[in-house]
Chains A and B, each alone.
Chain A
Amino acid sequence: DIQMTQSPSSLSASVGDRVTISCRASQIISSYLNWYQQKLGKAPKLLIYGASTLQSGVPSRFSASGSGTEFTLTISSLQPEDFATYYCQQSGSFGGGTKVEIK
């Protein structure tokens, strides 16, 4: 099975900060990597699929890149509504999540 490892597991940031979250796959997965945002008590929401394609309706401050085994999600200017947990996912495996908290 493919294992997905996210880092960091949590981070503290301020509104307006640039935030970067990493995801590593245990084997090469081409660009078959997706990102989700989950707010407390809510279902996950698809942000990005295919490593870099923004889902319809997702703000352009979210972007992602990577291929092979190394992937990155970037929030260019953190907004109050972006404080949440972010998960990467490939096939049937999710990363452990990165909790973005207010500094």
Chain B
Amino acid sequence: QVQLQESGPGLVKPSGTLSLTCAVSGDSINNNNWWTWVRQPPGKGLEWIGEIYHSGSTNYNPSLKSRVTISIDKSKNQFSLKLNSVTAADAAVYYCARAQSLKVFDWLFLRWFDPWGQGTLVTVSS
């Protein structure tokens, strides 16, 4: 059974960097999957952040691209998210998930997320 577990600080200062890690068990991060981050502000909907392949290839949400870095650590079977220059708008539950992702056109992907981690709440406050 594939399981994903997010970890990282639950509190980040404004203008600081949010750093989270997702540990994967039950599947190898080297397999033919993408690994993704999604966030959800309290009481709001879901927002895709980006994804990474074991080769290091990444795709990011254009609205966050300038502030986001997703990286992978194959030796630890985990991947990570860094979001810099955070503001209160970045406060959310952050989920990691395994993704199936196939590019059809530059703007169109066959992409779905399963399974998901339980999520971790990140608050932005001084």
Contact = CB atoms under 8 A, between A and B. Distances in A.
A and B pair up: yes
Interface in B40-91: 45-48, 59, 61-62
B45 A91 contact: no
A43 B118 contact: yes
A29 B111 CA distance: 12
Given A44-B116, A45-B116, A91-B111, A32 B45 contact: no
Contacts of A29: 108
Given A43-B117, A46-B113, A32 B108 contact: yes
A32 B100 CA distance: 12
Interface residues of A, number: 25
Interface residues of B, number: 25
A36 B108 CA distance: 19
Nearest to B46: A94
Contact of B46 (A44, A45, A50, A90): A44
Contacts of B97: 43
A46 B107 contact: no
Contacts of A87: 45-46
Contacts of B115: 46
Interface string B6-20: 000000000000000
Given A1-B62, A32-B104, A32-B110, A92 B48 contact: yes
A93 B48 contact: yes
Given A1-B62, A43-B118, A43-B119, A94 B47 contact: yes
A55 interface: yes
Among all A-B residue pairs, the 5 with the closest Cβ atoms: A46-B114, A43-B116, A92-B48, A91-B109, A94-B46
Interface of A: 1-2, 29-30, 32, 34, 36, 42-46, 49-50, 55, 87, 89-97
Interface of B: 38, 45-48, 59, 61-62, 95, 97, 100, 104, 107-119
12 contacts: A29-B108, A32-B109, A36-B46, A42-B118, A43-B118, A46-B112, A49-B112, A89-B113, A91-B109, A93-B48, A94-B48, A95-B45
